[in-house]
Structure 1
Amino acid sequence: MEEVCTPLKSDSRLKHRPLTPLRLLRGVICLVVFLSTAFICIVYLSPLAVVGLRLISIRYSRKAVSFFFGLWLSMWPFLFEKINRTKVVFSGDSIPMRERVLLIANHRTEVDWMYLWDLALRKGRLGCIKYILKSSLMKLPIFGWGFHLLEFIAVERKWEIDEQILQKNLSTFQDPKDPLWLSLFPEGTDYTEQKCKSSKKFAAEAGLPVLSNVLLPKTKGFHTCLETLRDSLDAVLSIAVGLEVHLSFHFCHKMTRRHHPLHVGC
């Protein structure tokens, strides 16, 4: 039987706190430390892990990248939760440690992908978390270089182009011995009131369910991830990110690798 945590009870109203000089200073310090250390890792550590070891073994190269990436990325929860004093609350079903999972989440803000690091750290998977993201992010200075080195999957959000991109990249992650947390935001973009109105209009015209708190998800990419990785995944996780930086984790489906077909219903 899965251990179920106590449901999260919180005020649904979004709390706005004034931007004081101290809060601004803490935010600037966090940003400077994060960017400067990212640059150091990319310039000095990644050539050894990505270029040197990859000539010998792709697996060892990925292990080295995962180690350095996880070591550097562990600073974020510390800066985020301790220095910036942001309270992160987890609720929902218990999630086992160290599994290969496909992780799907809603997209309430532009930084939801960062919130997932807090969970990955606690589950021993911080270094192996990877994202499917829009290709324009690959052009960002420093971060874009890192996304390439970490083998994030960039998509154009045009299925006639993205189908081959996804299949080609996902096929390199099929080894069940390689640790993996593949993160996907099925909505395809962050939530806004205007996007919600457009999503509702499209859903109504197409005879699809009209959703209020999320945008109509794009299913083709999700389906491709499942079909390509189904024999190497341990589970599919559905995560709901709350507005008050409350993270609610719901364990959708547990499967035994290779023995049972994958069915997901959240």
Structure 2
Amino acid sequence: MGYVKGISFVLLWYIGIIWSVIYIYAPFFIILPFSRKLYRKATDIILSCWEMYPVSLLQLMMGCRICLSGDEIDPAESAIIIMNHRNRLDWFFLWAALLHGCRSPAHRCNVRWIPGIGWGLQMAGFLFLHRNWKKDKEFLKRALDYFKELGENYLILIFPEGNHLFDATKKKSNAFARKTGLPGYDYVLHPRTTGFTFLVQQMQKNSRLDAVYDLTIAYPKTLPINELDILSGKVPEEVHFNISRYAGDTLPRDEQGIKTWCEERWAEKEASLKKFYSERNPDRRRLSPKVRFARPLNAMFLAVVSWTAVTVFTTYLTFYTTWGFYYTCFSISGFLLVSYFTYGIQNFELDLFYKYDYHNESK
């Protein structure tokens, strides 16, 4: 039954992504050359609606419970989210935390190359990085300045550890710690602070840093490591998030101060997670004494029914109508060309802005 549920969950989610991107997202691409602001608002609304679907499947179909403690996330703020990286799927479970831990639905998390989800996230303005700091620094600056000029609020997720926690990365991280006189960690990796420091300083410079949200994620029982675990039905019974909000004006402004601030948060995570996992009874593990168990929302039942219906209907259009088949082939070809011969739709969006809007405004 685990494999049946796991495969059904992944198929519903993934097929739903592909057809939603092709039939709902793609038509809005024609707006982009004419109005960046309208395009951004339209794609953000679609993403917020769609993201409820995989979260609803996760909770209603797979029985995963989301446990929250600490502060709420305000999506009306421009903020940075930092989080420890326990496995390759943390970003997916974060969607559930954002749904239940925000004052209202929100979001902006690398899956760029995956057909379907990668295309949709390109259109949604997700910031995909090269893992080359020279290129990434320039791209991040352009993107942050772009959102500032549009007057858009945004949440940027960054995993300062740079990789998820497993034996090889832990060994490498602690080897670095020994060389630099830092303590060894068992439950987190030492953070790489270059990207985080740049984001903080650039957003401070733009007067757009309202807050930094520090999230600690933990899995008290089942721990999936990668996508194959989900296919086999290995979904965590619970995922715990502790959220701490730090006002933007309380962060240091100098590079060393920001670096030290981030390292202090990771030392706190290590202590918190050590205490969490030292509890022998998984049912009693808590990141905080005050835990909010996120109950399924009524809208989640509607999301499952409506988005599954959309998936079935668009599947029918694709394989049983001529225009649907050719439209799908045309859309997929377009996404593939843009994704593999440029650095994605999000870069094309920035290029249009800096060539036309920004140039005209500067005049």
With the length of structure 2 as denominator, give the TM-score of the two structures: 0.60
Q: Alignment partner of 1:183: what SS?
A: strand
Change (3 A) 1:62 1:176: closer
Q: Could you tell me how far apart the structure 2 residues matched to 1:117 and 1:155 are?
A: 20
Which residue is 2:278 aligned to? none
Change (3 A) 1:148 1:165: same
Q: Say how many residue pairs are matched.
A: 235
Please tell me whether the aligned partners of residues 117 and 126 of structure 1 are also in contact (alpha carbons under 8 angstroms).
no
| Residue 152 of structure 1 pairs with residue 130 of structure 2 | no
Q: Deviations over 1:100-153 (max 9, x none)?
A: 2210001101110011111222315645x222x3xxx32222222223222222
Q: Could you tell me how far apart the structure 2 residues matched to 1:25 and 1:235 are?
A: 42
Pairwise CA distance, 1:38: 0.9
Matched to 2:70, the amino acid is G
| Residue 32 of structure 1 pairs with residue 46 of structure 2 | no
Where is the helix percentage greater, Structure 1 or Structure 2? 2
Identify which of 105, 112, 116 aligns with 1:138.
112
Which residue is 2:87 aligned to? 109
Please tell me whether the aligned partners of residues 75 and 155 of structure 2 are also in contact (alpha carbons under 8 angstroms).
no
Q: Could you tell me how far apart the structure 1 residues matched to 2:75 and 2:147 are?
A: 19
With the length of structure 1 as denominator, give the TM-score of the two structures: 0.80
Matched to 1:113, the amino acid is W
Which residue is 2:349 aligned to? none
Q: Could you tell me how far apart the structure 2 residues matched to 1:124 and 1:53 are?
A: 30
Q: Could you tell me how far apart the structure 2 residues matched to 1:207 and 1:64 are?
A: 50
Q: Could you tell me how far apart the structure 2 residues matched to 1:176 and 1:58 are?
A: 8
- Name which structure has the greater RCO, CA cutoff 8 Å, separation 6+: 2
1:202-217 paired onto structure 2 within 5 Å: 202-217=176-191
Q: Could you tell me how far apart the structure 2 residues matched to 1:73 and 1:41 are?
A: 11
Which residue is 1:58 aligned to? 36
1:79-118 paired onto structure 2 within 5 Å: 79-96=57-74, 98-118=76-96
Indicate the RMSD between aligned Cα atoms, in angstroms.
Answer: 2.2
Which residue is 1:15 aligned to? none
Please tell me whether the aligned partners of residues 176 and 232 of structure 1 are also in contact (alpha carbons under 8 angstroms).
no
| Residue 237 of structure 1 pairs with residue 213 of structure 2 | yes
1:118-137 paired onto structure 2 within 5 Å: 118-122=96-100, 123=102, 126-127=105-106, 129-131=107-109, 133=110, 137=111
Which residue is 1:45 aligned to? 24
| Identical positions, percent | 23
Pairwise CA distance, 1:261: 6.4
Q: Deviations over 1:193-217 (max 9, x none)?
A: 2210111001211333433211111
Q: Deviations over 1:138-174 (max 9, x none)?
A: 2222222223222222223232332222222232222
Please tell me whether the aligned partners of residues 187 and 215 of structure 1 are also in contact (alpha carbons under 8 angstroms).
yes
Which residue is 1:190 aligned to? 164
Q: Could you tell me how far apart the structure 1 residues matched to 2:51 and 2:73 are?
A: 21
Q: Deviations over 1:30-78 (max 9, x none)?
A: 21111111111211222332x2222332121111101111111101221
Which residue is 1:247 aligned to? 240
Change (3 A) 1:157 1:97: closer
Report which of the two structures shows the higher radius of gyration computed on alpha carbons.
2
When structure 1 is superposed on structure 2, of 100-109 and 153-162 the one drifting more is 153-162
Structure 1 gaps, min length 5: 1-20
Please tell me whether the aligned partners of residues 175 and 232 of structure 1 are also in contact (alpha carbons under 8 angstroms).
no
Q: Could you tell me how far apart the structure 2 residues matched to 1:157 and 1:211 are?
A: 24
